[in-house]
């Protein structure tokens, strides 16, 4: 789960990390009030709040000298969508804009903490060349990217911090500020079950102080049960609406680009099903795992979810009944089809626990559902039918 920049900065404040004071605008009539909550004497930076980086490059971060500039920025963005190199072509809705006190920037650095699967730990990544082109730096001048591993207690040694500080030519005060920032980032990462914390840019101001100008946090979905305060900050408008609905129903759903909807129990079987569809030159429209303990209701909502994707021209149901009973799956499918007017072909493969009963229920339902016993035949059939 992602947070907005302004939410991440609120969290940063709790950990005494230096961030700019800001006001929040979610309605056009809040501009005045937002600006009164900050020191606006030198102007401010207006920032679109959306779950994406690369805002600066498309005008989503802008220096505003006057209240009219802010007004114009709000008119330009609020209620619109922002499209960046990190979003898809539809972009993301802009429902919040933050106005931040201006920072006098001398140098832009990059700092992040990531789960480093290769090294099996959390790594800290640092670069003197932060800012809007960090991807290019990583590609063209990888020697400018510094890296170190945290220990299993999410801590970094003082020696390592000093080494970083020397690499970046920090003076003593900057080194101690840097130590404070890094140590607290490590704390947040551990306390809040993060999978990513990124500050790009971490700047050195003209006065020589270190300051977090941007903040990106990603929280491990699987830890949200113990991060209630963070979970409340979820902004569904920034997520694929089908994926969001799936989460509410305890389904693992990932939208894809193809036209064959898949409903499968078990992640491994779901991947195998997608591979088999591809083997016959078909394209899956989604990954969907209804889980090992699928109920009739869950199957029904899964089915509706697949059908809400207008690209879907056919559905392949592949259930291997272990704990889950195929007759319940059959009833769930029928319930969903009765509620929604389904005109596309549906191929169902049921194997295992109560599969014969399941097949009989489907056959006797009078609905236009094609049964197949083998995955190969079922996949081939649905590919042929959608062509």
51 binds ligand GDP (CB under 6 A): no
Query: Could you give the string, one character per residue 121-160, with x where binding to ligand GDP holds by CB under 6 A and - elsewhere?
Result: ----------xx----------------------------
Which among ligand GDP, Mn ion, none contacts residue 45 (Cβ within 5 to 8 A by kind)?
ligand GDP
Beta carbon of residue 208, minimum distance to ligand GDP (angstroms, whole number) = 15
98, 200, 273, 318: residue in contact with Mn ion (rule CB under 5 A): 200
108 binds ligand GDP (CB under 6 A): yes
Interaction residues for ligand GDP, span 150-209 (CB under 6 A): 200-201
What is the dihedral sign for C-alpha 261, 267, 272, 278? positive
Q: Mark the segment that binds ligand GDP (CB under 6 A) among 103-111, 116-124, 317-325, 332-340.
A: 103-111
Residue (97 or 346) nearer to Mn ion, CB:
97
332 binds ligand GDP (CB under 6 A): no
96 binds ligand GDP (CB under 6 A): no
Active-site hit among 6, 101, 110, 253:
110
Which among Mn ion, ligand GDP, none contacts residue 131 (Cβ within 5 to 8 A by kind)?
ligand GDP
Residue (214 or 331) nearer to Mn ion, CB:
214
308 upstream amide cis, omega within 30 of 0? no
CB 349 within 8 A of CB 372: yes
CB 24 within 8 A of CB 96: yes
10, 15, 43, 54: residue in contact with ligand GDP (rule CB under 6 A): 54
Active site residue 198: yes
10, 26, 30, 56: residue in contact with ligand GDP (rule CB under 6 A): 56
112 binds Mn ion (CB under 5 A): no
How would you classify residue 320: left for phi > 0, otherwise alpha for psi between -120 and 50, otherwise beta?
beta
23 binds ligand GDP (CB under 6 A): no
Beta carbon of residue 100, minimum distance to Mn ion (angstroms, whole number) = 13
223 binds ligand GDP (CB under 6 A): no
103, 286, 300, 355: residue in contact with ligand GDP (rule CB under 6 A): 103
CB 81 within 8 A of CB 94: yes
The CA distance from 176 to 198, in Å, is 20
Q: Mark the segment that binds ligand GDP (CB under 6 A) among 100-108, 111-119, 297-305, 322-330.
A: 100-108
Q: Mark the segment that binds ligand GDP (CB under 6 A) among 97-105, 116-124, 227-235, 328-336.
A: 97-105
Residue 161 CB partners (closer than 8 Å, separation 6+):
175, 178, 179, 182
Which among ligand GDP, Mn ion, none contacts residue 102 (Cβ within 5 to 8 A by kind)?
ligand GDP
What positions carry a catalytic annotation? 110, 198
Which residues sit at the interface with Mn ion, rule CB under 5 A?
Answer: 200, 214
Which residues sit at the interface with ligand GDP, rule CB under 6 A?
Answer: 45, 53-56, 61, 100, 102-103, 105, 108, 131-132, 200-201, 213-214
């Amino acid at each position: 789960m992602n947070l907005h920049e302004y939410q991440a900065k609120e969290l940063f404040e709790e950990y005494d990390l230096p961030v700019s004071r800001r006001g929040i605008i979610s309605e056009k009539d809040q501009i005045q009030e937002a600006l009164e909550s900050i020191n606006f004497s030198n102007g401010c930076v207006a920032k679109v709040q959306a779950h994406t980086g690369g805002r600066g490059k498309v005008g989503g971060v802008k220096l505003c000298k006057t209240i009219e500039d802010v007004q114009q920025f709000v008119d330009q963005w609020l209620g619109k969508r922002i499209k960046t190199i990190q979003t898809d072509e539809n972009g993301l809705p802009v429902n919040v804009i933050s106005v931040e006190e201006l920072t006098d920037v001398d140098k832009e650095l990059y700092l992040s903490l990531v789960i480093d699967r290769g090294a099996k730990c959390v790594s800290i990544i640092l670069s003197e060349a932060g800012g809007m082109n960090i991807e290019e730096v990583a590609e063209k001048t990888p020697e400018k990217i510094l890296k170190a591993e945290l220990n299993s207690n999410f801590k970094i040694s003082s020696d390592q911090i000093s080494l970083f500080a020397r690499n970046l030519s920090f003076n003593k005060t900057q080194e101690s500020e840097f130590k404070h920032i890094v140590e607290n980032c490590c704390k947040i990462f551990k306390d809040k079950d993060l999978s990513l914390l990124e500050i790009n840019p971490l700047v050195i101001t003209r006065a020589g102080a270190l300051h977090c100008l941007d903040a990106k946090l990603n929280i491990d979905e699987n830890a949200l049960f113990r991060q209630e305060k963070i979970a409340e900050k979820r902004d569904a408008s920034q997520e694929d609406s089908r994926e969001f609905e799936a989460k509410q129903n305890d389904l693992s759903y990932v939208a894809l680009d193809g036209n064959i909807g898949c409903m499968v129990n078990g992640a491994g079987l779901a991947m195998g099903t997608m591979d088999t569809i591809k083997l016959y030159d078909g394209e899956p429209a989604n990954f969907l795992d209804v889980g090992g303990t699928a109920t009739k209701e869950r199957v029904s909502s899964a089915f509706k979810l697949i059908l809400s994707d207008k690209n879907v021209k056919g559905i392949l149901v592949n259930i291997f009944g272990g704990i889950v009973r195929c007759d319940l799956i059959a009833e769930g499918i029928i319930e969903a089809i009765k509620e929604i007017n389904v005109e596309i072909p549906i191929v169902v493969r049921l194997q295992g626990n109560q599969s014969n009963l399941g097949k009989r229920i489907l056959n006797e339902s009078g609905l236009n559902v094609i049964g197949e016993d083998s995955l190969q035949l079922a996949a081939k059939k649905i590919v042929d039918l959608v062509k």
